[in-house]
Amino acid sequence: MNYGLYTIFLGMRSRQNTLEAQANNIANASTVGFKAERLVYSSVEAEAKGTGDKQRLVSGVTTSSGIDFTEGARQQTGRDLDIAIDGDAFLQIQTPRGARFTRAGSLTLNAAGQLVTKNGDLVTGSNGPITVPRDGKVAIEPNGELSSGGQTFDKLKLVRFNNPASALIKEGDSLFMANGTQNAQENVNSTVIQGSLENSNINSISEMVAMINNNREFESLQKSLTLLMNDLGRKISGEIGKI
């Protein structure tokens, strides 16, 4: 194995993975409740046998992905069923695949009068799905309590995780699934803001600058690969000429 080629391959693959994540982040810059995906570079070193008893150190770079749960900017909409969460809590919802968690608070009502997300998933209340009375305007208190006509009828189920970056897996643009490493805990300090939405936490300009820098690194590795391949080609030609 040519270990120089292998090192360059790892570097180019890492930059390609980063480019895909950056492109997806930019594409979702206007998606409500979207959380950026960040790739972390890690160095890899291993000993590989050379000729005879000699050992050679092989190094390279790999990437691992993580979710940036920084809060996005809030946008006031004035719509009764739009909510934003101030704090680290998540809104729990029920999908055909089980419980999921989101910060995207653009809610609506289905034909049965149940509170649902933009994708039609049921919003979870104190005792399951929330059915909204049809005879009044819905008020949502900072603690998540829902009332209509001055009467409280349910409460949004807000939960939190000690370390959401290691507890949650992204599923779609703004939906998260618990991986089982941590239990969802009752909300402590987060509050609900009615008539507002949390925007994506993507800064489009910063993301574009990072993408440009990543492309430059990829092109630099491509040039190194070309030089290495040319050098190998000359060596092979020289060896063939000796035969």
Nearest to 170 by CA among 233, 102, 110: 102
Q: Please give the pLDDT value at position 48.
A: 54
Asked if 107 contacts 198 with a C-beta cutoff of 8 angstroms, the reply is: no
* Spacing of C-alpha 76 from chain mean position: 24
Angle at 135 between CA 133 and CA 140, to 5 degrees: 55
161 near 182, Cβ under 8 Å? yes
Q: What averages of pLDDT result for each successive group of 10 residues across the chain (243 residues)?
A: 70 84 92 89 57 51 75 94 96 95 95 93 95 87 93 95 93 92 92 96 91 85 80 69 60
Burial of 157 (0-12, 13-18, 19+ CB in 10 A): buried
State the pTM of this model: 0.78
pLDDT for position 59 = 53
Give the CB-side neighbour count of residue 63, counting CA atoms within 13 A.
Answer: 19
**What is the predicted pLDDT for the residue at 240?**
67
pLDDT at 11: 80
- Predicted local confidence at residue 53, as pLDDT: 47
